[in-house]
Each structure stands twice: as C-alpha cells, then as structure tokens.
Amino acid sequence: MTASSSLSRRNSTTHLIGLLLGTENDWPRAFETLTKRLDPINHRGRQHHVDTERITIEPFDLRDPVRHDVVIDRLAWWYYHPREWLKKAALVNDTYLINNPFTFQAMEKHSAYCAMIRLGFDIPATVLVPYKNPVDHEKWAYTAESYNLVFDLDEVASRVGYPMYMKPFDGGAWRGVSRIEDNAALHRAYDESGQMLMHLQAAAQYDSFARSLTIGPETKIMRFRPELPMHDRYEVSHDFLPPEAGMEILTLSRTINAFFRWEFNSCESLVTGTSVRPIDYANACPDIAITSLHYYFPWAITQLVSWSVFCAVTGRRPRVDTNSREWYDVADDPDLNWADKLGRYALMSDQYFEADTYREFCSTALASLPEIVYDWITSAEFDALLMETVRSTYPPHEQERFLAHLRGLIGLWVADQR
Ligand SMILES: Nc1ncnc2c1ncn2[C@@H]1O[C@H](COP(=O)(O)OP(=O)(O)O)[C@@H](O)[C@H]1O
Ligand SMILES: [Mg+2]
C-alpha cells in the first residue's frame, strides 16, 4: 500500500468479506475483481473500503476473534470443520454469514416442504417412508421390532398417485432421484434406496420449469430445462410466465429465504397456466458457475457483490433465530385470501431484507457498479477467465465448442445492455 492510500484509509472504514470456497475459481475471481474496482465506496458521508479474502482451514480456538465482517459460504454444506467455524463465528463473534449455518443444516428439503405447506403454497402430495434398510445402530433391532409398523408400500403409493418421484428427504444435485411410473419401478427404487430416507412425491405436470435465484431481496426467474446437459439448462428466455405466476414465484423465493434466514438460494417451481407448484427450494449457496449461468452470470455476480457489500458497509446485523410465528399468523388468518397472504409475505420479506434501503444503497453508493460490471465483462481479462474456466471444466476435445457457446451467450447479454 502506498503512503497516500494508507493515509486515506485512516479517514475511512475498511471491511473484510471472507469467501469460503470449494473447487470454484470463476465467480470468486469475478467477485474479487469487481469489489476492488468499486473502491472506494461512499456512503452517508463516509468512505468505505471493502477487501476480500479466501478463508483457509486451520485449527481454531472457540474464543478466537474473527476478522471478517461478512462471510459467503460455498463449502460448509459438505465440509464440517468450516461449518462448525461458521457457527462459532455466528454465536461468538456476531459475524454476518451468507447463509445462516443453523437453519441451513437443520432445514433440509423436507423441512422446507413442511414450512411452505404451512404457509399455504401448493406443494405436490409428499409422503416420507421409513428406511428400506436398517440404520446402523445397535438399538435398531429392538426399536424396529417394537415400534416400526408394517406398511404396504403399494397402498402408500396409490395415495400419492403415479407418476411420482422418489427422492431423498435431504436431497441435492439429483442424488438418488427417480421418476416412478408403476409398482414394479416403485419396489425397485425403494429396494435400492438402502439407508437413504425417501420421499414419495406426486409428479407435477408443467408448461414451464422456473428456477429462481435469489440474492438478498432480488430474484431472477430463469427458464430451466432439467432434461438437458448442465450448460444448456438455463434457457435465455424472457416473459415466459404469466405475470401472476411470476409474482407468486418472486414472493415464494423471498419468503423461503426470509423465513429461514437464507440470502443466497435457488428455488425450482413447476408452472402450469397461473398455477405454481414449488418442488425444490432448499438450495442455499447454489452453483453460480459461469459455465452453468452464462447469460445470467453478470446479474448473479452483481447481486452477490451488492448484497454482501451492503451488509458489510451498513453493518447489517445477523440473525440466527427465526420468527416463524409471524408467518404462521398470516397463514392462519381466516380474513385473508391467497392473494392477500402473498402480499403480506412479500411485505414481510422486503422488511426482513431492508429492500428499500438496499435499493437506495445500490443506486447511490453502488451507482457505478453496473458500468464496472459491463466494462469487465467486455474486457480481455474476462475472456481469459472464460477460457481458463472452460479448460478446467471440459475435456480438451470439447473446449472449443463450449468456449464458442459461452462467448455467444455472454455476447447476447452484452447486446441486451444497450
Ligand atoms: N414432484 C415433481 N414433479 C415433477 N418433476 C419433479 C418432481 N420432483 C422432482 N422432479 C424432477 O427431478 C429433478 C430433481 O428433483 P429435485 O427435487 O429438484 O432434487 P435435487 O434436490 O436433487 O435437485 C427436478 O429438477 C425435476 O426435474
Ligand atoms: Mg433440484
């Protein structure tokens, strides 16, 4: 740091955003570059600097201080040492975490279904069946013999109805998911489920599959094609939903997040006409790789930078607790119809995320960000990152094709900005 920049830093506040990462290098590079280019950020008459740091894993004392103001976590869903560090940071150090590690760990897909059923959303019929194979515990045999009721899988399935999906209660990344058309397939899938705990869920018919990515109070609804390979799943398609369905998905996405204190999450809904059936929305810290999001990547990285910088600079206070009762009071109010309830949920979500304050912050303190993003996306540096990402993602014989594909979609985004 030069003498003059260290002097200017003395009259300002510096914030540190930590990135807890797995294998990805694309969006973290984008995040680091864009926050550096935003510097300095002027907010309410004060200058702020935001530094970023990739967090490393090492032994920690439970009383150790945490240097980071905000941590974005993409790792703790499978790596337990940093997961426990996050909890200590939340409870001991009051660190702002994206996402809440407590609800993220406790509230898998099953809990998210339950909560959204309670709030009145149209979740397909879903039944949890007991384990196929004994759990590995010395007390199992006695308990199962004494208390496990014999059940008729076919009878349970006939209540759900065919076709249906069998999928793990805590699923993700399509692990263990199968579509079931008849009794024979049902028994085969159940036999194979072993020690996975499974839901049977009625298959929903749909005109369009909407995947909504929410970061802070902002949501992007994207048309999704689950049957295609990953790089083709997000289709560039605007206005593909009737407005009522679009509004319901926006509200649903933010409601789930405000309810569970998640701030970076994606949600899948199946839409027929104006009817919205959510099927998967416990995907906190989802994949936002350039190779998956392509056209939508600039939106996602802009939001991730904006929201985390907003939290750091304004000193937003983290919440580890939830306020389920306030949501249930709306859900249970006999004087409200469904549209009224959605309106209330939208309002409560906006309040939780300080949507108005956030938007004002974006249009003042972060007013230069859209141009910074545009300049960077159209630079040689970004193209080099694209090449590097393609090289590390695809085998050599496919790289040229994928690079052309991605450049084309990014070019489409660039054209749409004019
Ligand atoms: N009830 C359902 N109706 C229709 N399709 C479904 C249903 N449940 C799952 N699917 C299909 O299976 C895919 C994987 O299921 P999902 O619940 O999203 O699991 P995961 O958490 O592993 O992504 C979905 O993207 C969708 O294509
Ligand atoms: Mg899914």
- CA of 179 from ligand 1 middle (Å) equals 9
Answer whether 268 contacts ligand 1 (Cβ < 6 A). yes
Answer whether 165 contacts ligand 1 (Cβ < 6 A). yes
Mutate-to-test residue for ligand 1 from 279, 281, 287, 292, highest number of ligand atoms within 8 A of CB? 279
Residue 1 has pLDDT above 50, yes or no: no
Atom 7, ligand 1: residue with shortest CA distance: 203
Residue 3 has pLDDT above 70, yes or no: no
Residue 399 has pLDDT above 50, yes or no: yes
Torsion of CA 299, 222, 352, 279, to 10 degrees: -150
The pLDDT score that the predictor gives to residue 413 is: 98
Answer whether 174 contacts ligand 1 (Cβ < 6 A). yes
Q: How far apart are CA 166 and CA 176, in angstroms?
A: 8
Query: Which ligand is nearest the CA of 173, by number?
Result: 1
Cis geometry, peptide bond prior to residue 168 (ω within 30 degrees of 0): no
Other beta carbons less than 10 A from residue 328's beta carbon: 13
CB 98 within 8 A of CB 263: yes
- CA of 362 from ligand 2 middle (Å) equals 31
The pLDDT score that the predictor gives to residue 227 is: 87
The predicted-structure confidence for 221-271, as pLDDT tens digits, reads as follows: 999 998 898 888 999 999 999 999 999 999 999 999 999 999 999 999 999
The closest alpha carbon to 20, from 62, 65, 59, 78, belongs to 78
The pLDDT score that the predictor gives to residue 11 is: 82
* Lowest pLDDT segment from 32-46, 63-77, 141-155, 370-384: 141-155
Over the Cα atoms of the chain, what is R_g? Answer: 23
Residue 361 has pLDDT above 80, yes or no: yes
Q: Which alpha helices (DSSP H) does 69-215 contain, by range?
A: 80-93, 101-106, 109-118, 140-147, 153-160, 183-193
Q: What is the mean pLDDT of residues 397-413?
A: 96
Q: How far apart are CA 392 and CA 410, in angstroms?
A: 19
Atom 14, ligand 1: residue with shortest CA distance: 174
CB 330 within 8 A of CB 336: yes
Give the rounded percent of residues in the chain with a pLDDT score beyond 70: 98
User: How many helices (DSSP H) and strands (DSSP E) are in the chain?
Assistant: 18, 14
Answer whether 204 contacts ligand 1 (Cβ < 6 A). yes
Answer whether 203 contacts ligand 1 (Cβ < 6 A). yes
Q: How far apart are CA 306 and CA 304, in angstroms?
A: 6
**Model confidence at 2, in pLDDT bands (50, 70, 90)?**
very low
The predicted-structure confidence for 209-227, as pLDDT tens digits, reads as follows: 999 999 999 999 999 998 8
- Cβ contacts of residue 81 below 8 Å, gap of 6+? 57
The predicted-structure confidence for 73-131, as pLDDT tens digits, reads as follows: 999 988 999 999 999 999 999 999 999 999 887 778 999 999 999 999 999 999 999 99
The pLDDT score that the predictor gives to residue 356 is: 98
Tokens of residue 251, six digits: 């509200």
Tokens of residue 413, six digits: 């985004």
Q: How far apart are CA 147 and CA 375, in angstroms?
A: 64
Ligand 1 atom nearest the C-alpha of 203 is 3
Domains, in order of start, for the chain: 3-106 (3.40.50), 125-202 (3.30.1490.20), 208-372 (no CATH)
The predicted-structure confidence for 175-202, as pLDDT tens digits, reads as follows: 999 999 999 999 999 999 999 999 999 9
Q: How far apart are CA 153 and CA 158, in angstroms?
A: 9
* Average pLDDT score over the chain: 94
CB 259 within 8 A of CB 324: yes
Ligand 1 atom nearest the C-alpha of 126 is 1
Give the rounded percent of residues in the chain with a pLDDT score beyond 90: 87
Q: What is the mean pLDDT of residues 45-72?
A: 97
Residue 6 has pLDDT above 70, yes or no: no
